[in-house]
Amino acid sequence: VKLSTIKYFFFQNSRGNKRKWVPEEDVALVACMVDLYNVGTYNADTRFKTGYLNELERMLEKVLPHAMLKAKLNLESMIRTLKRDWAIVYDMLSGKDNSGFG
């Protein structure tokens, strides 16, 4: 990922300024999460172990040094969003409440 391709955008909402992720950051986050899972240090049966957010922050700092993504402030929120989006797609494809989609 070239630093020149990473742009930061902010939009105003009712809670103040919120950071908008760019696609390169999404890809880097998912790749780092896959790496954490594959290493096994931070994964337990179905969830990541305590401390994984801080490790993700360190990993992302190496990949995207100027992104300044913080564990609690940015990563936790984005992971929640990714889980929600994945659940919607999974439900559509698995036949649960899909109203004939599939």
pTM of this prediction? Answer: 0.68
Residue 45: phi, psi to the nearest 5? -40, -60
**pLDDT of 27 higher than 60:** yes
- Per-residue model confidence (pLDDT) at position 14: 40
Residues near 30 by Cβ (< 8 Å), separated by ≥ 6?
82
Ranges 31-45, 61-75, 85-99, most confident: 61-75
pLDDT of residue 91: 81
At residue 61, the pLDDT reads: 93
Q: Which residue has the higher pLDDT, 1 or 66?
A: 66
Query: What are the structure tokens assigned to 22, written together?
Result: 């760019």
Q: Where are the domains of the chain?
A: 20-83
